[in-house]
Chain A
């Protein structure tokens, strides 16, 4: 099993540009989570999906952020337009059976907005 795969690993973009982060969950996992990690705020849950349906997006900071899960093997997190304060590490995680065994995290995408 290749684990949760995120791309790109690093992204540097200019303020105002659109950024798309991608995630491929573990095959068979039916829940997917997007987290943001910063020094100031720690780990924040942005949104999560069960069976490709968004369940809770209360952590999405503002309308500039959007997430989709068109099928069980792919999800995107989009920021449009990006701002310097969006700079963070974005993690995707997946789980099966209600995460009784915890999440499996991807390696993250380090986003820098200049």
Chain B
């Protein structure tokens, strides 16, 4: 079945550091891949997406590239800010109805 595996957190970085959060997936077909962000006390918000192999999703300085050969969709940001502190979820869907979410990775950014 479909599933998503994320690196465990928490990830603690200093402001302006480079961020990578790893995400790998297992799917039976050709999924679309998403990153969501959850701030404390709030619901998940869509951060970026990619719908086919080699697509790069980007938003607010975050990027992720759909790598079919490695079944990965790692999230990166060149310079994190304190305001990026949140929980990040990788997700996939094959039918745009049922999403499979990873367990989430908490990011703490220190000033």
Q: Do A and B come from one complex?
A: yes
Residues of chain A at the chain B interface (Cβ within 8 Å)? 4, 31, 42-43, 45, 48, 50, 55-56, 91, 93, 95, 98-108
Question: Which residues of chain B from 45 to 60 have a CB within 8 Å of any chain A CB?
Answer: 45-46, 49, 51
CB-based contact B46/A43 at 8 Å: no
Report the bound CA distance from A73 to B43 in whole Å.
19
Query: How many B residues are at the interface, by size bracket?
Result: 20 to 34
Are B41 and A107 within 8 A (Cβ)?
Answer: yes
Task: Tell whether, in the assembled complex, residue A101 and residue B46 are in contact, meaning their CB atoms are under 8 Å apart.
Answer: yes
With A48-B98, A98-B95, A105-B44 already in contact, 15 other A-B pairs whose C-beta atoms are closer than 8 Å:
A42-B101, A42-B102, A42-B103, A45-B99, A56-B97, A98-B97, A100-B51, A101-B46, A103-B46, A104-B46, A105-B43, A105-B45, A107-B42, A107-B43, A108-B42
Contacts of B73 in A (CB 8 A): none
Residues of B within 8 A of A (CB): 32, 34, 36, 41-46, 49, 51, 89, 93, 95-99, 101-104
Interface pair A43/B97, CB less than 8 Å apart: no
**Which secondary structure characterizes the binding site on chain A?**
strand
